[in-house]
Structure 1
Amino acid sequence: MLDHFSIGVRDIARTRRFYDAALQPLGYSCLSSGEGSLGYGADQVVLWISQTDHPVPGDPRSGLHFCFSAPDRAAVDRFHAGALAAGGECNGAPGLRSDYSPTYYAAFAIDPDGYRVEAYCGAAA
């Protein structure tokens, strides 16, 4: 169901110490590290962490984000259309996000309570 999720934190260094210690016994490690961001998982990043001054769930600036796996690109399109028809707000129309990867096809919406959601398919067209 979930491909990955993202959270926002105030202090990236403190957060890294916490997640390094907490996730290592579970077999997860930091697979991606950049200025202001971390990515944790086993074989692929599942938890993305970014630094923000607004780490409050429901605040669009919080960094909280859930990405759902989609079986194909048409499902991503239907996810977006359904979300908007049910009162969601567009946060990114369906399309390729080549800055993520050459086959990263996704759509983004904001639910009625302000949570950011995404549907993603990585299969080639």
Structure 2
Amino acid sequence: MFDHLSLQCDDLDASRRFYETLLAPIGISVVMEFGDVLALGGPDGAPKFWLGKQTTGGTQREIHVAFTAPNRTTVDTVHRTARDLGAEILHEPKEWPEYHPGYYAVFVRDPDGNNVEAVSHS
């Protein structure tokens, strides 16, 4: 449905470390950077998830973003990685049948307070 997503970060370096480490098990890494902006992408190298320094000021509202994991093992790896990073675990990995059968996900908090999910639909 969307082409790409961009988040503003209070501490771009902290967010970069968080997302590079957290999303590595899914095959997502920094594919482009310039100045105070960087983009992450998957194996195709397309910049889909952008991070930049906070520029609009004010209070940031929580955003929820979900990344597709190929299987449950990868969701569990993302969970362990988040724990190793010291990230707040919002919901341990589990199946969420209220969404649909086979929906298996973990939810964690990023350095800016956003709700980040890794989900497998298998």
- Give the TM-score of the pair, scaled to structure 2: 0.50
- Give the TM-score of the pair, scaled to structure 1: 0.49
